[in-house]
Amino acid sequence: MDNNETSILLIGEGGIPKDFPKNELSKFLNLKSKIESNLELSYEENIIFENLNNKIKKWRRNFRNDEYYHSVIDLKNLIYLKSKITTYIAFLDYCEPDIYQAIENLIDEGYKKIILITSDLIFSKEKESKIDDILNFINLKYRDFKIINLCKIDYNIISDFFVNLINGVIDDK
């Protein structure tokens, strides 16, 4: 594998920072609830939602307001140290960069292949579908670019992972 042309993209779930203003968070969650209920937002509500969504994504993270964000960064750094393959992060929700942004940035930097991995062992079908939609769009736009999606881990591999962990604890390994 040519490490100069290949990168790893670690996908995290993303979360809302604990110190995000409560009144704005309440507005955001109410509007998000409407969207998830398939209710149509008015033009003004849509603008408010997009502005709040962007504000959440751009919010400065620290260990006190978003421990998960920094855990993903720590994992990214460990993966790089162990693999020696340049590793980046992206998020499904609430943080920057999102997956599409990150992939476009990597293409702009000259990478020819990206290996997608996730910090979650299991994604919901909705989140898998969201990733698939993004990847399908990228594949249409950049036909010569290769994406290897390792986010859908077979349940046999996951169960083996846990059984090996458990057996290691039982056997004091």
Of 3.90.1010.10, 3.40.50.300, 3.40.50.1400, 3.40.190.170, the CATH number of 6-15+65-170 is 3.40.50.1400
Q: Any idea where the domains of the chain sit in the sequence? A: 6-15+65-170, 22-58
pLDDT tens digits for range 31-65: 999 999 999 999 999 999 999 999 999 999 988 99
More confident residue, 115 or 172: 115
Measured distance CA(115)–CA(98) in Å, rounded: 16
Quickly tell me which residue has 């943080």 as its tokens: 95
State the pLDDT at residue 128: 85
Q: Work out the mean pLDDT of the chain and round it to a whole number.
A: 91
- Residue 81 CA to its chain's centroid (Å): 20
Question: HSE (CB half, 13 Å, CA atoms) of 170?
Answer: 6
What single DSSP character describes residue 92? S
Kindly indicate the confidence band of residue 152, based on its pLDDT and cuts at 50, 70 and 90. Answer: confident
